[in-house]
């Protein structure tokens, strides 16, 4: 009887050489899957063409009613994820045929072993089309499709199930004890338990999380509140890279954690609560740290209040150092760092008297101090106001001269500033203007702010306690409140009481002209932060230029950073430098 059935089935089966019809001819593909006719698909499934489809035997499966389910699921999914099934035409190969045959054959075996009631060839055909042309091109495995009954679910729900299953599998591996030298990670960033994170932060486990203390942070409800947690689940993996370099990074990481805690505790904007500290650190660790932000930038830019899209508009420390600085200023930083070289190139706007303490003679020094018995000194290659001081001749002039020589100091007359600016603070309050010199050599001023010192300070640097106010590039007016260390925000100067917003910088147009003009004299240092002041006579005076200036004005903007101003010009400069290197190597 069985033999008779086999003979009847063979007679009824479509007489078609699927191999020949599939290989060596142009076919349309969905993903990597060739678009078959009903007859070809039935042959590979090893079934008789379902009765309802016999009239469509020669038609391709995307033209029959069964394919509507695939189209509907795909349409619903593409509206949310911007992914669509697309047809592509190319020549099929022997390899494609073998892969197709194997996938469809295995599918039938899984169907026969499933717990689906009332199995029929028609049902098998319909489910096989859905898997073959929708789930398989989207990356789902045959095992996943059957184990989790994805044929009963939407694509979105299917993705969620697989993501969670992958996470559970990874976490199970980790809990059972990862093999020596392996870690559970998201994008090279280790996954910690709640207990471990609290230990790093040196806080008690918050009451809210005590029941989760041994769980991976990815298992907690906190993790699912992060904006891109679904994306991070996809990127979880077991890594085998605990090399010496990892431990070096781990030591640096401990320092970063300490800096994060110190900044949080010192900020006047933070509630200084252990639960809040814990939650903000988790957000920083798994969202902003992988984006290249430093712990200080997390607070400076108020990233805890911003979306990921908004965070991407900021120039981060790593973006700045790795991309902008290397593209613009690589191998040419001495033009700004050596203050004598800078003064000589920018001499039009450096009108104060100065001496090079490294090379000047005692006679030169004597003449200088006779004219300026009280003078300003700073290390020739220092920054951030380090080593700056005012000296006076009160005793042995020779000893003072030797002190300047030994410490390689720049010796300058004490600057005086415009009375309108001096009214805020007697410290020399410099305007920090950032310029970018693109390949067309037309200077772009990207942003500007003024740094204002406090009573008793010698310099106006924020690191020394100064405060910063944003300046409108068009008008030269102050347009923000002041920000300083510890996130303090001020509407008026704490010493003089003068209001910041609305203050008009004197001779603003002259300042802008000076930096745009002088930036062109530094074609090898295309990104510069200029420190500028205005004299009582209304002349522009350059205090110094910085080849690696901080983007300190970014934290004065409410919602966006300055990356969009730099992206296109910097990419052009990078391409230009590569061309120069290639030309040099091939010449």
For the entire predicted model, the pTM comes to: 0.67
**Rg of the chain, C-alpha, whole Å:** 34
Segments of 78-172 assigned E as strands: 87-91
User: Strands of 87-91's sheet, edge to edge?
Assistant: 33-34, 26-30, 87-91
Contact 260, 298 (CB under 8 A): yes
Query: What's residue 14's pLDDT?
Result: 44
Query: Which positions ≥6 away from 334 have C-beta within 8 Å?
Result: 341
Query: What's residue 101's pLDDT?
Result: 74
Same fold, 353-413 and 419-573: no
Structure tokens at 174: 């980790």
- Element (H or E) spanning 106, and its range? helix 94-112
Per domain, the residue ranges of the chain are 2-152, 183-312, 353-413, 419-573
Query: What's residue 5's pLDDT?
Result: 46
How would you write the pLDDT of the chain (587 residues) with one tens digit per residue? 445 444 434 434 445 566 666 555 566 767 667 778 888 888 888 888 888 888 888 888 888 887 777 777 766 655 554 455 565 665 566 666 677 777 777 788 888 888 888 888 888 888 888 888 888 777 777 888 888 888 888 877 877 777 777 666 666 655 555 555 567 777 667 888 899 899 889 999 999 999 888 888 888 889 888 888 778 877 777 766 544 444 455 555 677 888 899 999 999 889 989 999 999 999 998 899 888 888 888 998 889 988 998 889 888 877 777 788 888 887 787 888 888 999 999 999 999 999 999 999 999 999 999 999 999 998 887 776 677 888 988 878 898 999 999 988 999 999 999 999 999 988 889 999 999 999 999 999 999 999 998 877 766 666 667 889 999 999 999 999 998 877 888 999 988 999 999 999 999 999 999 999 999 999 989 999 999 999 999 999 999 998 888 776 776 766 678 888 898 999 999 888 888 877 877 76
Contact 352, 413 (CB under 8 A): yes
Segments of 21-140 assigned E as strands: 26-30, 33-34, 87-91
Query: What's residue 43's pLDDT?
Result: 85
pLDDT tens column, 36-73: 888 888 888 888 888 888 888 888 888 888 777 777 77
DSSP 316-368: -HHHIIIIIIHHHHTT-THHHHSHHHHHHHTGGG--S-EEETTT--HHHHHHH
- Element (H or E) spanning 436, and its range? strand 431-436
Cβ-based burial of 472 (10 A; exposed 0-12, middle 13-18, buried ≥19):
middle
Could you give phi then psi for residue 386, rounded to 5 degrees? -70, 135
Superfamily of domain 419-573: ATP-grasp fold, B domain (3.30.470.20)
Query: What's residue 174's pLDDT?
Result: 57
- 353-413: CATH topology is Dna Ligase; domain 1 (3.30.1490)
């Amino acid at each position: 009887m069985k033999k008779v059935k086999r003979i009847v089935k063979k007679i009824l089966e479509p007489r078609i050489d699927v191999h020949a019809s599939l290989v060596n001819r142009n076919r349309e593909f969905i993903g990597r899957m060739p678009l078959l006719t009903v007859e070809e698909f039935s042959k590979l499934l090893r079934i008789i063409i379902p009765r309802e489809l016999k009239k469509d035997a020669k038609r391709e499966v995307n033209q029959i009613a069964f394919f509507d389910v695939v189209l509907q699921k795909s349409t619903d999914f593409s509206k949310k994820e911007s992914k669509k099934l697309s047809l592509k035409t190319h020549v099929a190969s022997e390899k494609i045929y073998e892969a197709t045959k194997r996938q469809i054959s295995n599918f039938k075996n899984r169907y026969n072993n499933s717990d689906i009631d009332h199995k029929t060839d028609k049902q098998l055909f319909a489910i096989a089309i859905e898997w073959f042309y929708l789930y398989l091109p989207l990356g789902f495995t045959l095992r996943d499709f059957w184990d989790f009954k994805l044929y009963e679910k939407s694509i979105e729900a299917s993705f969620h199930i697989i993501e969670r299953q992958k996470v559970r599998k990874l976490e199970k591996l980790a809990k059972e004890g990862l093999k020596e030298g392996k870690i559970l990670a998201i994008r090279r960033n280790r996954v910690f338990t709640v207990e471990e994170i609290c230990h790093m932060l040196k806080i008690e486990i918050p009451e809210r999380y005590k029941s989760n203390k041994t769980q991976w942070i990815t298992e907690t409800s906190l993790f699912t509140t992060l904006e891109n947690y679904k994306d991070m689940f996809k990127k979880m993996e077991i890594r085998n890279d605990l090399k010496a370099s990892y431990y070096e990074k781990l030591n640096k990481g401990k320092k970063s954690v300490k800096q994060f805690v110190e900044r949080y505790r010192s900020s006047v904007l933070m509630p200084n609560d252990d639960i809040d500290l814990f939650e903000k650190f988790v957000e920083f660790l798994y969202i902003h740290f992988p984006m290249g932000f430093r712990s200080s930038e997390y607070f400076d830019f108020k990233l805890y209040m911003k979306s990921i899209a908004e965070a991407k508009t900021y120039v981060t420390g790593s973006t700045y150092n790795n991309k902008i600085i290397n593209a613009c200023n690589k191998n040419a930083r001495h033009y700004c760092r050596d203050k004598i070289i800078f003064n000589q190139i920018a001499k039009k706007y450096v009108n104060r008297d100065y001496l090079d303490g490294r090379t000047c003679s005692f006679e030169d020094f004597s003449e200088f101090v006779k004219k300026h018995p009280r003078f300003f000194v700073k290390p020739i290659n220092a920054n951030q106001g380090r080593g700056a001081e005012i000296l006076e001749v009160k005793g042995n002039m020779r000893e003072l001269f030797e002190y300047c020589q030994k410490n390689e100091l720049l010796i300058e007359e004490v600057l005086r500033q415009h009375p309108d600016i001096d009214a805020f603070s007697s410290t020399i309050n410099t305007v920090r203007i950032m310029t970018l010199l693109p390949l067309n050599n037309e200077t772009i001023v990207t942003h500007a702010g003024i740094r204002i010192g406090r009573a008793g300070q010698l310099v106006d640097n924020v690191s020394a306690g100064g405060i910063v106010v944003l300046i409108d590039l068009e008008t030269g007016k102050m347009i923000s409140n002041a920000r300083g260390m510890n996130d303090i925000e001020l509407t008026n100067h704490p010493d003089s009481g003068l209001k910041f917003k609305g203050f008009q910088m004197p001779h603003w147009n002259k300042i802008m002209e000076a930096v745009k003009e002088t930036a062109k004299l530094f074609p090898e240092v295309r990104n510069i932060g200029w420190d500028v002041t205005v004299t009582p006579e209304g002349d522009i005076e350059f205090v110094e230029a910085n080849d690696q200036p901080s983007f300190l004005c970014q934290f004065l903007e409410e919602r966006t950073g300055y990356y969009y101003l730099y992206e296109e010009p910097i990419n052009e400069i990078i391409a230009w430098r590569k061309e120069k290197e290639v030309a040099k190597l091939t010449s």
